């Protein structure tokens, strides 16, 4: 049983969004096509309360600065993906009809949750692992935004939970706060045992 994970395909991660990911909207048609090749689709949604402590404004700091949040290092972000806002909604044109589950994360204002599996302090599970195990998922394929944050940490957790894990590299895009971050993230995933593939390899099977 192969699951396709669609990570944070939300308006705030498009080029016009609050936390812009260059070309973040351009992968949507490809991801719609990829959906047809999988038995199970699960989406994640970054879903923050307005007072989330990853937002720079609450620290009187600039986005990109780093603070310690209850013992965990935290990059500060612009206000993004506030629950029920337009920015938190799925990108226009994304097929959402066949999602078996939408895993919302980042609701605890004191700890960020890049990964679809655990909050950043690894103390709280999102329910993703239990959901996938219940459905008999044996392989996880990952797409979405952003390569260097939520995609990376989702893939690393999937690996550490023991799932054979594939990154569909051309179905992701990075924030690239520093040049090369997305490439570096792909290297880290690969070193951790994530298999990096291209969508063409999925379509040829």
Enumerate binding residues for ligand VGL (CB under 6 A).
8, 13, 19, 46, 77, 114, 145-146, 149-150
Contacting Zn ion (CB under 5 A), which of 25, 46, 129, 157?
A: 46
Min dist. Cβ of residue 25 to ligand VGL (A)? 14
Min dist. Cβ of residue 145 to ligand VGL (A)? 5
Q: Residue 82 or residue 145: which is nearer to ligand VGL going by CB?
A: 145
Whether 81 sits among the annotated catalytic residues: the reply is no
Tokens 């990075």 -> residue:
174
Q: Residue 134 or residue 179: which is nearer to ligand VGL going by CB?
A: 179
Min dist. Cβ of residue 150 to Zn ion (A)? 8
Give, as one character, the DSSP assignment of residue 187: H
Question: How many residues sit close enough to Zn ion to count as binding (CB under 5 A)?
Answer: 1
Q: Residue 178 or residue 205: which is nearer to ligand VGL going by CB?
A: 178
Angle between helices 181-191 and 152-160 (to 10 degrees): 0
Query: Which of Zn ion, ligand VGL, none interacts with 28 (beta carbon under 5 to 8 A by kind)?
Result: none
Please tell me which residue in 12, 150, 152, 157 is annotated as part of the active site.
Answer: 150
- In sequence order, the 6+-apart residues with CB closer than 8 A to the CB of 38 are 2, 3, 4, 141
Min dist. Cβ of residue 62 to ligand VGL (A)? 15
The region of 45-53, 83-91, 123-131, 184-192 touching Zn ion under the rule CB under 5 A is 45-53
Peptide bond into 146 cis (omega under 30): yes
Whether 152 sits among the annotated catalytic residues: the reply is no
Residue 128 region by backbone torsions, left for phi larger than 0, else alpha for psi between -120 and 50, else beta:
alpha
Whether 184 sits among the annotated catalytic residues: the reply is no
Identify which of 140, 97, 102, 111 has the alpha carbon closest to the alpha carbon of residue 10.
102
**Do the strands 139-145 and 2-7 form a parallel or antiparallel pair, or are they unpaired?**
parallel
Please tell me which residue in 81, 105, 112, 152 is annotated as part of the active site.
Answer: 105
CA separation for the pair 168, 175 (Å, rounded): 17
**Do the strands 66-69 and 165-173 form a parallel or antiparallel pair, or are they unpaired?**
unpaired
Catalytic residues: 8, 105, 150
Interface residues with Zn ion (CB under 5 A)? Answer: 46
């Amino acid at each position: 049983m192969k699951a396709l994970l669609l990570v944070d395909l939300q308006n705030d991660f498009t080029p016009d969004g609050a936390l812009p990911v260059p070309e973040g909207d351009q992968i949507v048609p490809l991801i719609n096509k990829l959906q047809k090749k999988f038995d199970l689709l699960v989406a994640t949604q970054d879903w923050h309360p307005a007072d989330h402590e990853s937002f720079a404004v609450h620290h009187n700091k600039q986005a990109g600065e780093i603070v310690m949040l209850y013992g965990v290092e935290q990059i500060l972000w612009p206000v993004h993906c506030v629950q029920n806002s337009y920015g938190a909604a799925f990108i226009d044109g994304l097929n959402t009809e066949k999602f078996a589950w939408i895993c919302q994360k980042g609701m605890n204002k004191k700890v960020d949750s890049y990964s679809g599996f655990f909050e950043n302090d690894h103390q709280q599970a999102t329910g993703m692992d239990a959901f996938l195990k219940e459905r008999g998922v044996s392989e996880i394929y990952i797409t979405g935004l952003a390569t260097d944050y939520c995609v990376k940490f989702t893939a690393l957790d999937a690996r550490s939970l023991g799932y054979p894990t594939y990154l569909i590299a051309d179905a992701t895009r990075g924030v690239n706060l520093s040049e090369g971050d997305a490439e570096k993230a792909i290297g880290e995933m690969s070193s951790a045992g994530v298999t990096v593939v291209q969508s063409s390899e999925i379509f040829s099977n």
